[in-house]
């Protein structure tokens, strides 16, 4: 204690100051660089929405997803369940497969996903297994949403991996596209009450 009081100035300048400067550099160059602002989040969701419109064009439920790494879009997809006769053909699954192929790794560490509809149980499980960093989704799915609408897996403490989740990004636009699709479906052929389709 006597040594510290006598050499307080030296202790502060020689030991603490370099540590503080190092932490400041890490904060500025890493944390600030990885934080997305709202404009960028909305831009990426617009791109995902464009993929959803591709699904609409081929009479699939209009859901689109993209995956971003280092501020670059590395994968994008839309629903293709009917088109490919594939019950796993959700936009999220297809985008994950494409991103993994491009990266050459089944772990998508440092990647973020943007999808127009809250992921279902299958897709959120794939997102967790891929080790995706952050998930942004558009409208909430009151039928099968696994983030918080029906299930709350994103906050389940028993799951060994989680990603940060933000819902409601461009909710009005993403919801409107789905409503338009199912309105067109109902006009052609009324949906049964237990169809499970988004209304």
Residue numbers annotated as active site: 92
Beta strands in 34-133 (DSSP E): 64-69, 72-78, 111-117
Question: Residue 84 and residue 128: Cα distance in Å, rounded?
Answer: 24
Tokens describing residue 80: 């293709």
Q: How open is the CA angle 86-80-46, to the nearest 5 degrees?
A: 145
Q: How many residues would you count in the chain? A: 199
Tokens describing residue 124: 């959120």
Question: Residue 198 and residue 20: Cα distance in Å, rounded?
Answer: 52
Tokens describing residue 195: 């169809």
């Amino acid at each position: 204690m006597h040594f510290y009081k006598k050499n307080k100035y030296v202790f502060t300048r020689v030991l603490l100051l370099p540590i503080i400067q190092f932490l400041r550099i890490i904060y500025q160059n890493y944390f600030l660089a990885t934080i997305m602002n709202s404009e960028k989040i909305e831009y990426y969701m617009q791109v995902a929405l464009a993929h959803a419109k591709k699904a609409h064009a081929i009479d699939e439920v209009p859901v689109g997803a993209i995956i971003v790494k280092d501020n670059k879009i590395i994968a994008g997809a839309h629903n293709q369940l009917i088109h490919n006769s594939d019950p796993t053909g959700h936009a999220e699954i297809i985008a994950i497969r494409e991103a993994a192929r491009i990266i050459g790794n089944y772990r998508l560490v440092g990647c973020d996903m943007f999808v127009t509809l809250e992921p279902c149980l299958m897709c959120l499980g794939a997102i967790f297994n891929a080790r995706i960093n952050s998930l942004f989704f558009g409208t909430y799915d009151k039928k099968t949403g696994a983030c918080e609408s029906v299930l709350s897996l994103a906050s389940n403490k028993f799951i060994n991996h989680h990603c940060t989740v933000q819902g409601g990004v461009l909710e009005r636009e993403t919801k409107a596209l789905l409503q338009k699709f199912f309105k067109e479906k109902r006009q052609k052929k009324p949906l049964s009450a237990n169809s499970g389709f988004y209304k």
